[in-house]
A and B are shown apart, each in its own frame.
Chain A
Amino acid sequence: MIKRALIKLIVFLALVSIVIPLLIILIWSFASSWPWPYMMPQNFSLRGIEEFFGGYSGAVNSMFTSVLVGIGTAAFAVLISIPAARAIKLYDFHGKSIVDFLLLLPVIVPATSFAMGIQVLFIRTKLNDTIFGVILAHTIVSLPYTVRIMAEVVTAIGNKYEVQAYVLGANKKDTLLKITIPLLMPGLVSAFSMAFIISMGQYFLTFLIGGGAVVTLPIRMFPYIQSGDRQIASMYSLMFILITLVVLLISDKLVRRYYNFESTYFFS
């Protein structure tokens, strides 16, 4: 009994240690001064709201840019990952283990190292300063995650349902649309969510590749965090978290309307 209580306590503490910092962000978003040694802010203001929604700062535009880039990245990464994951899990070929290893690289090697080397190539190919270029770069760093998630789902369902569809007379296209995609859906949503989260959070890569033409939320937020304007930085963080969650929830709900499945990686 004591043990159970102890376990409960630990779980509770874990939750608290997640929630408290987030709560502080929420409070700071509306606090104008919160000096030592007070446990609560002494003054509140709507400066954060004004900055974000006042219309002049471009924050709302940035939010849309971020979401656009995030969704683009996620869609792109997922599309690339499906065949890649299937190739790795359902086929036997020479160099499989090398491919497996290479696909892990973008998460292993610091994104900054890669970004610094890639910048000139992107400028030369005119991909720099374009949304597409940013999406491309984000896709590269998301791939290890999306491929791995898709690989897990592919392993779980194998290709037996597809063979079944062929047996029942379905051609490649029908099988892909009516069997493969629906069955991969939970994994697709998970991979999509993961890529979206990764894209949303990119600062350095966006900044190098997007220059100033693609001003995402982190690009707008970073100077405030650096300059230590806690209220505005917190408001940006808050909105960042909210918009990320909203997009994830909407995409999940949308997909669930058409395909029913039990659970995904990010939502349970």
Chain B
Amino acid sequence: MNKKSLVPYLMLMPAMAMLAVFIYGLFNGILQSFGLLKSAGLNKFTLEYYSETFRNGNLLNSIKVSLIISAVSSVIAVILGVVLSYLFCRTGFVNKRAYNIFKLPIVIPHIVVATLVINLFSQSGLLARLCNLLGIIGSQQEFIPMVFDEKFKGVILGYVWKEVPFIVLVVATIMSNIDGNLGEAAQNLGASPFKAFIYVTLPLCFPSIAMVFIIIFTYSFGAYELPMLLGPTFPKALPVQAYIEYTHPELAHRPYAMVLNTIMIVITIAFAIAYHFLIKKINKKVEVRAYD
């Protein structure tokens, strides 16, 4: 393995070309946020749009709301996903045919998920009807508002429904390998199945879990479909706000959208970098593959 060889760079060329387009897109957006948008007659660098966006009190609220949505949904999804992965491995369910049903939500786009949530959890949804049927509630109003509410319960539910299977798909495979092998070893050394899971299986799955966590976290932070279709009128999640600004018919309004976009980019990349360093640290500890 020669470090100076050109071969790997050549092999990476196509992927890098794609990435270049991607990064061009990001930079282009960021430039526009500083008021550099020729076609709208804007070509002076200015922080105007930022200061105005920050002055409008809604921004911090939007960031807060988005962070809460993504943090809560991702944490719930990861916990559920890991627990289910564990149970699925334990019961051998991963090898059953019915397990495939569990992968279905991965295929379903978020806009459809939104309708699912409304069908089930709105005040006239199936769950409310069931409660009504069972006499738990007398009218629709008594059903806890889960959709279009300021706590974004519906949005969170939607994300959880879609993300848990994704986590299971990634984690269960890895987990069943570790659990069958090293988990057995741990039990044999006196650990109960639960302790074996906590001390051995979980730490070894951690890199993959962290990986999916960062993916779903940043995704739910930046996606507008669910909060737009299931969120309340106010407050608005950051991506929804950005989307609304972006679709503002005035071209000169574009920089406002790009300011919000830039803020999202900065926040997500900050998380990604934090993740990258964290995972590097952990990977140094857990070189499962190198060892196998």
A and B touch in the complex (CB under 8 A): yes
Among candidates A139, A203, A268, residue contacting B109 with C-beta atoms closer than 8 Å? A203
A113 B161 Cβ-Cβ under 8 A: no
Given contacts A91-B1, A113-B29, A116-B258, 12 further A-B contacts (CB under 8 A): A8-B91, A17-B161, A39-B126, A39-B130, A88-B12, A93-B5, A109-B264, A118-B24, A121-B25, A155-B289, A237-B112, A268-B100
Cα distance A121–B12 when bound, in Å? 23
Cα distance A120–B22 when bound, in Å? 13
Cα distance A110–B99 when bound, in Å? 30
Interfacial chain B residues near A107, Cβ < 8 Å = 215, 218-219
Cα distance A210–B217 when bound, in Å? 28
A197 within 8 A of B: yes
A104 within 8 A of B: yes
B contacts with A: majority SS: helix
CB A122 to nearest CB in B, in angstroms, measures 9
A136-160, CB under 8 A of B: which get 1 and which 0? 1001100100010000000100000
Segment from A56-64, A174-182, A238-246, A253-261 that makes contact with B = A238-246
Segment from B45-53, B181-189, B268-276 that makes contact with A = B268-276
Among candidates A88, A101, A221, residue contacting B111 with C-beta atoms closer than 8 Å? A221
A115 within 8 A of B: yes
CB A91 to nearest CB in B, in angstroms, measures 4
Interfacial chain A residues near B103, Cβ < 8 Å = 266
| CB under 8 Å from chain B, chain A span 10-46 | 10-11, 14-15, 17-22, 24-25, 28, 36-39
A218 B25 Cβ-Cβ under 8 A: no
CB A128 to nearest CB in B, in angstroms, measures 13
A241 B108 Cβ-Cβ under 8 A: yes
B110-128, CB under 8 A of A: which get 1 and which 0? 1110111001100010100
CB B291 to nearest CB in A, in angstroms, measures 12
A55 within 8 A of B: no
B104 A110 Cβ-Cβ under 8 A: no
B115 A197 Cβ-Cβ under 8 A: no
A113 B22 Cβ-Cβ under 8 A: no
A117 within 8 A of B: yes
A contacts with B: majority SS: helix
A143 B112 Cβ-Cβ under 8 A: no
B26 A114 Cβ-Cβ under 8 A: yes
A91 B25 Cβ-Cβ under 8 A: no
B72 within 8 A of A: no
A83 within 8 A of B: yes
CB B260 to nearest CB in A, in angstroms, measures 9
**B residues engaging A (CB < 8 A)?**
1, 3, 5, 7-12, 14-16, 18-19, 21-30, 32, 39, 84, 87-88, 90-91, 93-95, 98-112, 114-116, 119-120, 124, 126, 129-130, 132-133, 140, 161, 165, 169, 173, 214-215, 218-219, 221-225, 229, 239, 242-243, 246, 257-258, 261-262, 264-265, 268-269, 271-273, 276, 280, 289
B115 A113 Cβ-Cβ under 8 A: no
Residue of A whose beta carbon sits closest to that of B214: A108
Cα distance A83–B15 when bound, in Å? 9
| CB under 8 Å from chain B, chain A span 201-233 | 201, 203-204, 218, 221-222, 225-226, 230, 233
Counting from the closest, the 6 A-B pairs by CB-CB distance are: A110-B222, A117-B29, A118-B25, A83-B11, A117-B25, A201-B109
Interfacial chain A residues near B87, Cβ < 8 Å = 7, 10-11
Residue of A whose beta carbon sits closest to that of B224: A112
Residue of B whose beta carbon sits closest to that of A114: B25
A200 within 8 A of B: yes
A103 B19 Cβ-Cβ under 8 A: yes
A87 B11 Cβ-Cβ under 8 A: yes
Cα distance A154–B103 when bound, in Å? 24
Interfacial chain B residues near A225, Cβ < 8 Å = 111-112, 114-115, 229
* Known contacts A108-B269, A121-B24; is-contact A113 B15 (Cβ 8 Å): no
B29 A106 Cβ-Cβ under 8 A: no
B24 A117 Cβ-Cβ under 8 A: yes
A113 B265 Cβ-Cβ under 8 A: yes
B101 A18 Cβ-Cβ under 8 A: yes
CB A159 to nearest CB in B, in angstroms, measures 11
* Known contacts A21-B119, A87-B8; is-contact A111 B101 (Cβ 8 Å): no
Most buried by B among A106, A115, A222: A106
Interfacial chain B residues near A163, Cβ < 8 Å = none
CB A18 to nearest CB in B, in angstroms, measures 6
Residue of B whose beta carbon sits closest to that of A248: B107
Among candidates B28, B30, B115, B289, residue contacting A118 with C-beta atoms closer than 8 Å? B28
A267 within 8 A of B: yes
Provide a sorted-by-A list of 14 A–B residue pairs whose CB atoms are within 8 angstroms: A18-B165, A21-B161, A36-B129, A37-B133, A39-B129, A80-B18, A83-B10, A102-B19, A105-B272, A111-B223, A143-B18, A155-B289, A233-B115, A240-B109
Residue of A whose beta carbon sits closest to that of B102: A18
Interfacial chain B residues near A116, Cβ < 8 Å = 25, 29, 246, 257-258, 261
Among candidates A19, A21, A36, A268, residue contacting B140 with C-beta atoms closer than 8 Å? A36
